[in-house]
Amino acid sequence: MSLLEKKHAIVCYGEILWDILPNATVPGGAPMNVAYHLKKLGLEPALITRIGLDNYGKRLIQLMEKAGVPTDFFQMDFELDTGRVTMSPGEGEDIHYDIVQPVAWDNIQWDDQFVPLLTGSSYFIYGSLAARSSASRSVLYRLLEIAPFRVLDINLRSPHYTRPVLEELLTGVDILKLNASELELLTGWFSGYRSETDRIKALRDLFHIPTIVLTKGSQGSVMNTGGAFYEHPGFTVEVADTVGSGDAFLAGLLHCLIQGLGPPDALEFASAMGALVASFNGPCPEYTRQSIYAIINNQQL
């Protein structure tokens, strides 16, 4: 069975929430954002998460159903509220996150349906935030044991991680995606390397990671795979906000890799996806695939 014939070729795991921005309240959470963009690109992702019995939870189900993202693996929590994050601008392109805890997605429970879901998939996407609680972390570890191909979008949000948990999550990864500050933090634990290239090599060699993708915002992106480095300078757009642009980048990257495209083409398309979403407010805007190619074509003239 080919990947495109599978019911849910890609499974995302973890947080679903509301991002409370200075000027708006929008649905968010990296796993949900990635699933949304994968669906926009014509794939059929599944999302394992948990919501509360509140209006926030009901609205998330309605919005996901409207976007065509299946809610079959959304669990309902009778005690904890749906996740919320208050976001405020930091220095440069950075954003400060105040992530409420505990919330429903901290309490994801094991379901035997996960076994056929994972074994019938081709990619499993997860991050560090859903590992902050023992309940959701234990389910994640069980899923990692049966996942055929692991994609870690590490997504570090202080103080919601510990070094032992991150080391566990990095072990056995097939693709690691991280940003420049995350690369610096992780390699600061393990090495004295200073250059970007040496830091990537250090992570690759220590954890035996076949593919590492580094996103650098307006400075572009780098991929290390098969022992070689590939770079893309990124695209220039008028930025509305950068919330969710990294999630769109990851969706675009996986979309290309699934089709068998090489690293240069994959980085180009992923970079255009990230730039496109950064030109909108919120992580899950309405757009067409043509608008992605418009960014690519406009800046190749």
How many domains does the structure of the chain reveal?
A: 1
Q: What does the pLDDT read at residue 187?
A: 94
pLDDT of residue 57: 97
* pLDDT score at 206: 94
Where does residue 5 rank: exposed (0-12), middle (13-18), buried (19+ CB within 10 A)?
exposed
**Predicted local confidence at residue 281, as pLDDT:** 84
Q: How many residues does the chain have?
A: 301
* pLDDT (0 to 100) of residue 1: 46
Strand partners of residue 196:
none
d(CA 72, CA 50): 11
The answer to whether residues 108 and 75 touch, using CB atoms and an 8 Å cutoff, is yes
- CA 109-243-92 angle, to 5 degrees, is 130
Identify the CATH number of the domain in which residue 175 sits: 3.40.1190.20
In whole angstroms, what is the distance from residue 158 CA to residue 7 CA?
36
| Mean pLDDT in consecutive groups of 10 residues from the start of the chain, 301 residues | 67 95 86 97 96 97 95 97 86 75 98 97 97 98 97 95 97 97 92 87 96 94 97 94 92 96 98 96 90 88 40
Q: Check: CB of residue 105 under 8 Å from CB of residue 29.
A: yes
- Spatial distance between the Cα atoms of 66 and 225, rounded to a whole number of angstroms: 37
Contact 133, 107 (CB under 8 A): yes
Question: What is the per-residue pLDDT for 49?
Answer: 98
Identify the CA nearest to 30 among candidates 156, 148, 170: 156
Domain hosting residue 226, numbered range = 3-298
φ, ψ at 157 (rounded to 5°): -130, 105
Please report the pLDDT score of residue 298 as a whole number.
87
Single-letter amino acid, residue 106: D
Q: What is the Cα–Cα distance from 59 to 32, expressed in whole angstroms?
A: 14
Q: Which pLDDT does position 242 carry in this prediction? A: 84
For 164, the 3-state DSSP assignment is: helix
Neighbouring C-beta atoms of residue 172, cutoff 10 Å: 14
pLDDT of residue 7: 83
- Give ∠ CA 69-70-76 in degrees, rounded to 5: 115
